[in-house]
A and B are shown apart, each in its own frame.
Chain A
Amino acid sequence: MDLVHSVILGFQASLQPINLLYCLIGVTIGTLTGVLPGIGPTGAMALLLPATFHAPPLASIIMLAGIYYGSQYGGSTTSILVNIPGEPSSIVTCFDGNQMARQGRAGPALGISAFGSFIAGTIGLVGLMLLARPLANLALSFGPPEFFSLMIMGLIILVYLTQKSLTKAICMGALGLILSYVGTDLISGQIRYTFDIDPLLDGIGIVPIVMGLFGVTEVFENLEETVETSLYQTHIKGLLPSRKDWAASIWPIIRGTVIGFFLGILPGGGAVLASFVAYAVEKRISKHPEQFGKGAIEGVASPESANNAASSSAFIPLLSLGIPPNVVMAMLFAGLMIHGITPGPLLLQNRPDIFWGVIASMYVGNVMLLVLNLPMIGIWVQITKIPFRLLFPLIILICIIGVYSISNSTFDLMVMIIFGVVGYIMKKCEYEPAPLILAYVLGPKMEQAMRQSLIMSDGSFTIFIVRPISGVCLAVAAFLLITAVTGFSKKKRLAVLPDETI
């Protein structure tokens, strides 16, 4: 069988000492960048890219790839421990992950996150191997109208993210949309809402906003409550997930993997959207949706699996089509080009050693990550015991470095502080930040897709309904919206939307 032969070839290549070494370096750095809030895989890859010029091509790509999917493992650590997302794709993990930590269950949360990531990464790789071509073609069939409908579906999801008032969640969503339009309008070239502030030309930036709303706000909130003692007084109950945890998590992991895998192929979609959608789906089909936000392990298992699956499937457009679906893949693209390797349909033909070597190394990498992350759980859990008055300066410092490292701008730091203060006040008034972030991420792509589609259709809206994929997405969105608001059963409706709807 040709496939088996290729896979064996790939493993032979990836298990060579030098490739193993680069893989280890890559996933370790990746985990580190994932754990540290603000600092992401892009920065690390940018720094290491020139260093790979002198290294053999396969080893370089293995290392760079390892940084990417490694960061998806590490991102959940700070989310669970201190309610601060290490990566934007780990924001959703904060909701239930941190609650679990407060109940003394940080260990199981971290554990299920690691295991879920491993399972998702591995299944994602199988999918990558078997389904690369058909999925690549599926990705191509998404034109502007399809993207628009998908983004609309994504925005409706924010209904499921709220733990308090729906009205206020929509307000935050609207606010997120508005913030996302600050900067240069791609369609007309006009500069919008910047009030002549130069650093805003490219928009406000998601990392300062996330660090402010989730990091700084979190610090302020905790300072109000406890300073002398550590954050969580409860006794640490076990370091690994229990049988019950596994039973509850296995289906969410699988669902998360599927959702993440499909959303990861789409340009611009990726791990962030996948994690939000996975969370919302779990809440929607759960028999006890009121548990979400209070420490439901499904709320950790599913999104963490989704973001890892998405990072695996993001390789499909890159390797099969030669199109990088996001910034990180663009860097890998550059890395490949520098070594004279042209990603795309011919990669499989011309350089099967690279193609299969990378894929095999991803299996190896996932195993390495699991081995790396599990023992660390014991150490991480100890961090929750540090008195907060010592811990919070460290948290703030890491947020500062993370935000500054993006574009070396103290303006970004100011943005972070402003959002920290704003988030703090908003939370006191029961406005939650999650819908804002979701809208902020989806806003630009949605608007762009809408205007592109309307240009294509000369202003006619039927283009969104007539094209099959687009029509399906819109139908699903409508369905989700209607059933959430009216609900088939009163109990379910009240659980999905909390009491105070307006």
Chain B
Amino acid sequence: MKRGWRVFFACWVMFLSGNAMAAETAYPDKPIEILIGYGPGGGTDLGTRVVAEEAKKYLGQEVVCINKPGGAGRVAVTLVSKAKPDGYSLVSATDSSLLLIPHLEKVAYKPLTDLTFIAQYGTLDFGLTVIANSPFKTFKDVIQFARANPDKLTWGIIGVGSADHVAAQAIAHRENIKIKFIPFDGAASSMTALLGGHIMITAPASSGYAPHVKAKSARLLAVLGEDRLDQYSDVPTLKELGYPEIVFQSWYVISGPKNMDKAVVKKLADAFKKAMTAPSFIKMANEIEIYTKKPLFGDELRDALVKRDKTMEELFTKLGIVAK
């Protein structure tokens, strides 16, 4: 009977092992895991899943995406920063968790030193949005109103310390105006409030404003990125309007723990780069408006992020926002 059990157990293990027994020494020799720092259905989730799907072909292994939402990406980033740098544990998050939040809160990782940056697969743009029949026709009108009526301009922000909040604070600081910030838990809530006339202006990401601007129930006064957006070429950037230091974009970045092997990083970056040329990825990225024309990889990406982090730090110091 004992022998019977041993045979049974062995058969069971073999039955289930399938091809997991094939041995290879080159990277990657087992499935790669990407932790997604947000819940399903959002830009991070969709973008990562499509990239992973396409990158499979170039890596020869499954790329498994697991949602690990929490703290706007913080939980996922913390977990991966502590993982083994063998190239099988990656994290996909926006630079909210990489650049913004570490300046505002104590986080369990030092983003620029505890992580290896591999690929940028998208950018999120923000746009200053007002309701279609709003009396504000240009951004100047908004500033004038705020100056004449301190504390009366109701500005919807999505989470304290988020990119749009910091941008709005920077504007307020520059122009010496007082804005009444009303926090919301997401673009859906703030856009609902905007369309219902409960707030006057808000600056959501593209997925927030796009449907309404296209439907003409809302208008964009300005965009917060480096350059004008292709889809809305008649909307000026804040830079053009005279605020060159207020440039905010959110980058979607895939990273791994620090001290990853350079060859592994290159292989991953190349795979992701090729994945991003796939028509299905381009289509998806365009539809949800995260497409970026010049994505950055590896060391280039790292340098760019370091630069942005410095700018962020200066801006925060100027505004008097300190880490708690």
Q: A53 is contacted by which of B71, B151, B211, B280 (Cβ under 8 Å)?
A: B280
Determine whether B212 belongs to the interface, using a CB cutoff of 8 Å to chain A.
yes
- A239 interface residue, CB < 8 Å from B? no
Checking B78, B160, B191, B284 against A189 with a beta-carbon cut-off of 8 angstroms, the contacting residue is B160
| CB of A484, distance to nearest CB on chain B (Å) | 31
Chain A residues with Cβ under 8 A from B193's Cβ?
A: 143-144
Asked if B28 is at the interface of the complex by the 8 Å CB criterion, the answer is: no
Give CA–CA (A478, B315) in the complex, Å.
49
Q: How far is the CA of A168 from the CA of B280 in the complex (A)?
A: 56
Residues of A within 8 A of B182 (CB): 144, 452, 455-456
Q: Which A33-78 residues have C-beta < 8 A from chain B?
A: 42-43, 45-46, 49-50, 53-54
Of the listed stretches B39-47, B84-92, B260-268, B294-302, name the one at the interface; the rest are far from the partner chain: B39-47
Q: Which residues of B contact A191 (CB under 8 A)?
A: 105
Chain B contact patch, size range: 35 or more
Question: Given the complex, which residues of A lie within 8 Å of B207, measured CB to CB?
Answer: 337
- Asked if B288 and A198 sit within 8 Å, CB to CB, the answer is no
Asked if B258 is an interface residue, CB under 8 A from chain A, the answer is no
Q: Are A342 and B215 interface neighbours, CB within 8 A?
A: yes
Q: Is A230 an interface residue (CB 8 A)?
A: no
List the A residue with the shortest CB-CB distance to B159: A186
Are the CB atoms of B215 and A45 closer together than 8 Å? no
| Residues from chain B with Cβ under 8 Å of A134 in the complex | none
Query: Is the beta-carbon distance between A343 and B41 smaller than 8 angstroms?
Result: no
Q: With contacts A143-B198, A345-B217 known, is A202 near B53, CB below 8 A?
A: no
| A198→B105 CA distance, assembly (Å) | 13
B171 touches A (CB below 8 Å) = no
Among the stretches A242-250, A278-286, A320-328, the one at the interface with B is A320-328
Q: A42-B40, A201-B74, A202-B69 are in contact. Are A337 and B217 (CB under 8 A)?
A: no
A340 interfacial contact with B, CB 8 Å: yes
CB neighbours (8 Å) of A45 from chain B are 40-41
A49 to B68, CA, bound (A): 18
A188:B160 contact, CB within 8 angstroms: yes
The B-contacting residues of A in range 192-208, CB under 8 angstroms, are 198-199, 201-202
**Are A448 and B185 in contact, with the CB atoms below 8 A?**
yes
Indicate whether A322 sits within 8 Å of B211 (C-beta atoms), given known contacts A140-B195, A338-B287, A407-B68: yes
Known A198-B108, A339-B287, A342-B215; judge A186-B41 contact (CB<8 A): no
Tell whether, in the assembled complex, residue B196 and residue A331 are in contact, meaning their CB atoms are under 8 Å apart: no
What is the bound-complex CA distance between A78 and B271, given in angstroms? 45
B134 within 8 A of A: no
B215 adjacent to A322 (CB under 8 Å): yes
Partner of A338, one of B53, B71, B288, B324: B288
A326 to B159, CA, bound (A): 18
CB atoms of A187 and B215 under 8 A apart: no
Distance between Cα atoms of A238 and B67 in the complex (Å): 44
| Any B CB within 8 A of the CB of A184 | yes
**Most B CB within 10 A of own CB, among A268, A317, A323, A408:** A323
Asked if A455 and B211 make an inter-chain contact with CB atoms under 8 angstroms apart, the answer reads: no
Q: Is the CB of B70 within 8 A of A201?
A: yes
What residue in chain B is nearest A324 (Cβ atoms)? B188
Q: Report chain A residues within 8 Å CB of B292.
A: none
Q: Which residues of B contact A408 (CB under 8 A)?
A: 66-68
Could you say which interface size class chain A belongs to? 35 or more
Majority DSSP secondary structure for residues of A touching B: helix
Question: Which of A139, A144, A331, A338 sits near B284, CB closer than 8 Å?
Answer: A338
| B214 within 8 A of partner (CB) | yes
Q: Are A327 and B196 in contact (CB under 8 A)?
A: no
Neighbour of A201 across the interface among B41, B71, B280, CB < 8 A: B71
Per-residue A-contact encoding for B62-97, CB less than 8 Å = 1, 0 else: 000011111100110010000000000000000000
In the complex, A337→B289 CA distance in Å? 9
A343 to B180, CA, bound (A): 30
B49 beta carbon closer than 8 Å to chain A:
yes
Residues in A with CB closer than 8 Å to B216 are 345-346
Chain B residue numbers with a CB within 8 Å of A387 are none
Contact A323–B67 (Cβ < 8 Å)? no
Question: Is B104 at the interface (CB under 8 A from chain A)?
Answer: yes
Instruction: Give bound CA distance, A46 to B185, whole Å.
Output: 21
Complex Cα spacing A317 to B191, Å: 12
Q: Scoring B residues 26 to 56 as 1 if CB is less than 8 Å from chain A, else 0, what string do you get?
A: 0000000000000111100110011001000
Residues from chain A with Cβ under 8 Å of B188 in the complex:
267, 323-325, 330
User: Are A186 and B68 touching (Cβ within 8 A)?
Assistant: no
Q: How far is the CA of A268 from the CA of B193 in the complex (A)?
A: 13
How many Å lie between the Cα of A334 and that of B188 in the bound state?
13
- Give Cα distance in the complex from A50 to B50, angstroms: 7
**Residue A410 at the B interface, CB < 8 A?**
no
Report yes or no: A189 in contact with B104, Cβ–Cβ below 8 A: yes
Instruction: Take A334-B288, A344-B211 as given contacts and tell me if A46 and B160 are in contact as well, using a CB distance cutoff of 8 Å.
Output: no
Distance between B75 CB and nearest chain A CB, rounded to angstroms: 6
Q: Is the CB of A342 within 8 A of B211?
A: yes
**Measured CA separation A333–B208 after assembly (Å):** 11
* Shortest Cβ-Cβ A-B pairs, 8 listed: A46-B40, A322-B211, A189-B160, A143-B198, A331-B41, A201-B71, A140-B196, A344-B215
